[in-house]
Chain A
């Protein structure tokens, strides 16, 4: 075995972004502003090959995502291929394109788990943030279909300042729909989410009010529904271990085959991105310049390299460092030791208090402003 294989951890999970097409237009979407061209998407055969390469590389879990992965007509075929390779299969979906037949076909193909996004427990709230009228009723129906098919179900509860006051109602809804798990997903401000941050960011007071509500539901629903809750970066003291560390556990393949260390990595413009059409997945993981750029600790600023948490948070998020500190190799400003930490929290609070209403729905092509 080559020497590098022993030195470099191999990936355990792959996010397979099958398409950037999506009927919803969520203002918080973390996809890049330049969405992958539908005409250039990987073919069914190419995706099957990627799945085979991923399994051989050590990937155990695949997350079919997008865009909206159910917009691909070959989704069930790809799920079956992944399951046949021994991969654990998750579907990350808005749900709005699913019906009873499609859910049954996915279950028959070996799908294990569906993560369904909910933008609110209030129908009008979902319509506004998601830009798709009637989505909540559709999602509730799809949750029922997923349970009928016997699949595991997670509710991804997307938190903005418009729904933060309803986090309890959203968790109650998730339990009522039969979810075994709910994620209180404070928006991660990348891509469209970063563009629209001022129109979405909750205040510190709103977040503080959420915490006891979430803790109470965690206690009340213990053993019935697992509730994952992460303090959002903009108000954290220490950064998240983004992706479990750059190029340590996780890889992302975009609709056109770009291989990335995280789904937001294209926001780092100088990152040399390679595709599965150019080079085997294994080579890209082990030797690709994008993967080597921030792997381990050699790239770290001195303050991270000497920190006793460097193998806990791995320096946090590179995309956030670039977006907020102007340097992808800087300390993540979510860390209280970063010189940009105070400014990050202040910006968030100013935006929350200003209550900006202008935003841009996610779309292919030119940006068009909307208002809440």
Chain B
């Protein structure tokens, strides 16, 4: 069992939880997150974030990468990225 709640910080190293996968739905041409008896259809931004959650990059590195890619200020997106990952962690989709 998990002994404590995952708290997402800039230093956290996020990854999809075991038995949670990001998969392309070829029939509908969209990305979906599949987990135990559950399915999420993330928006485009969430898909970009989740693709970077590889269990090696920190949240800070994910933010830096997205900021560079989408020409945004890190400070502007850091809060949204952390909030999304915390929400997904509390729902069991992400570990960090």
Contacts and interface: CB of A to CB of B under 8 A. Distances in A.
Interface of A: 10, 12-13, 56-58, 60-61, 63, 86, 88, 90, 112-113, 115, 150-152, 154, 175-176, 178-181, 222-226
**Contact residues of B: prevailing secondary structure:** loop
Interface in B59-81: none
B39 A12 contact: yes
A60 B37 contact: no
B1 A152 contact: no
B5 A223 contact: yes
A88 B24 CA distance: 12
A61 B34 contact: yes
B5 A180 contact: no
Given A112-B36, A224-B5, A226-B92, 9 more contacts: A12-B39, A58-B28, A60-B23, A60-B39, A152-B35, A154-B37, A178-B1, A179-B1, A224-B4
Contact of A115 (B18, B37, B90): B37
A222 B5 contact: yes
Contact of B89 (A88, A181, A223): A223
Given A60-B34, A60-B39, A115-B36, A88 B21 contact: yes
Given A222-B5, A223-B5, A90 B36 contact: yes
Contacts of B6: 223
Contact of B37 (A90, A150, A151): A90
A226 B28 contact: no
A343 B74 CA distance: 58
A86 B35 CA distance: 13
B19 A152 contact: yes
Interface of B: 1-7, 17-19, 21, 23, 25, 27-28, 32, 34-37, 39, 89-92
Nearest to B5: A223
A58 B32 CA distance: 12
Interface hub of B5, B21, B37 (most chain A Cβ within 10 A):
B37
Given A152-B18, A223-B89, A226-B92, A181 B4 contact: no
A225 B28 contact: no
Contacts of A60: 23, 25, 32, 34, 39
B37 A63 contact: yes
B34 to A, nearest CB: 4
A137 B34 CA distance: 31
